[in-house]
Copies of this chain bind each other. A is one copy, B any other.
Amino acid sequence: MNTNSIRKLFEQVRAGKVSPDEAVQRLRHLPFEDLGFAKVDHHRALRAGMPEVIFGQGKTPAQLATIFSRLAKHEGNILATRADKEQFAAVKKKVRRAEYREPARSIVLQRDKEKYGKGIIAIVSAGTSDIPVAEEAVVTAEIMGNDVERLYDVGVAGIHRLLANRRTLTRARVIVVCAGMEGALPSVVGGLVGVPVIAVPTSVGYGAAFKGVAAMLGMMNSCASNVSVVNIDNGFGAGYVASLINRL
């Protein structure tokens, strides 16, 4: 039941075909969720520039291609994360304009190219191994209409590489920081700027890194007050949150 069917009900009431009591009864038995007009409108507004997102990992190339092409029938951008080249080949056959962003392991179809972000999102990585996660954040932020600046391989054990590029940090309206191992970089970055920092622990490291747990705990305990954290390797989530902030 949408706006139209409710209007029809009211018209039937006005026409005397349905009594008010019966109308109440009918409403009573509707799944009330369907009354949620505002929600629909609201969501449409919200969705401007929001990509449809598919988590590619664990899906067969055929499955991914099917979902991707089905979504491609509507307007808007599409992002498939954790996708490999084989999956991309399958998608490409069905959606010719789809592109593969190799370092981000993502498939994108960007049709809405409007800028929704008001400033720059800086995406920072501690090491070169963190780059795939960082690039997932980059591609997410870009497809959501943001200008992005990358600052890679500026881990805390060579603090001067970071400081030498502080200008990139201070230019940003919101910053995403990806780091594995001890996950210390968000704290240092957080201390250098006065804007929100989204920290992404990565599964980079070995031994007591516990596949990102050490980094995650480090970031949760950041001594910088402007840091919040998303899941291990969740570059998409960080790019998404940063994009929402950059729209405000």
Q: Which residues of A contact B (CB under 8 A)?
A: 3, 6-7, 10-11, 13-14, 16, 19-21, 23-24, 27-29, 31-39, 42-43, 45-47, 50, 53, 57-58, 118-119, 126-127, 129, 155-161, 163-167, 170, 173-174, 181-184, 187-188, 190-196, 198, 201, 203, 205-234, 236-238, 240-241, 244-246, 248
Contacts and interface: CB of A to CB of B under 8 A. Distances in A.
Given A38-B170, A245-B248, 12 more contacts: A10-B23, A13-B14, A31-B167, A36-B160, A45-B194, A126-B223, A184-B218, A201-B207, A203-B207, A221-B231, A226-B241, A227-B241
Contacts of A238: 228
A216 B214 CA distance: 9
B181 A223 contact: yes
A229 B229 contact: yes
Given A157-B190, A207-B221, A240-B225, A7 B36 contact: no
Contacts of A207: 201, 203, 211-212, 216, 220-221, 231-234
B245 A225 contact: no
Given A188-B157, A241-B225, A28 B33 contact: no
A229 B188 CA distance: 18
